[in-house]
Amino acid sequence: MALIWITGFSGAGKTTVAKILQEKMTAAGSHAVLLDGDELRKALGYTQQYSRDERKQIAFKYAHLASLIAKQGIDVIVATISMFEEVRTWNRQNNASYFEVYIKVSEQERRARDPKKLYASGQDLVSEQSLYEEPQNPDVTFDEERKLSPEDMATIIQQSIFEL
């Protein structure tokens, strides 16, 4: 089954697109599981700040979990910042039906959206941004220039994964 990996900075719209995609896939007969980065951190007790290496270890845990579920015949949608190209490469090498989505939104737009009030709180996102390795080979990139709604993005992803 498909492993759809949605990456981008906090505030890019990953969770919004993932939830709509899950609804569309469910309506089409798939029992898609959504693994959201914020929810995974809460469920697994990852609540503190972590070093680069610790973040990478956590990211690989998410990747292995998603792969395990997908290999049991369940479509999996992962919405996470996913900072490391090494993790995304592992996903592609270890999942036959892997589909990577990069939602690329400017910092100015993310600050305007700020759904978790991270920017408004003065939280230091500079270290997070400096760690982020931009995806090298996403299957699709959505950016502000395309002027697509989250619904349109989800539709494009759904149509694309049916071609896998």
Residues labelled as active-site residues:
82
Annotate 133-153 with b (16+ C-beta within 10 A) or e (fewer): eebeebbeebeeeeebebeeb
Residue 124 tokens, joined: 């230091």
Sheet strands (E) in the chain: 3-7, 33-36, 76-79, 98-104, 140-143
The C-alpha atoms of residue 75 and residue 42 are separated, in whole angstroms, by 22
In total, the chain counts a number of residues equal to: 164
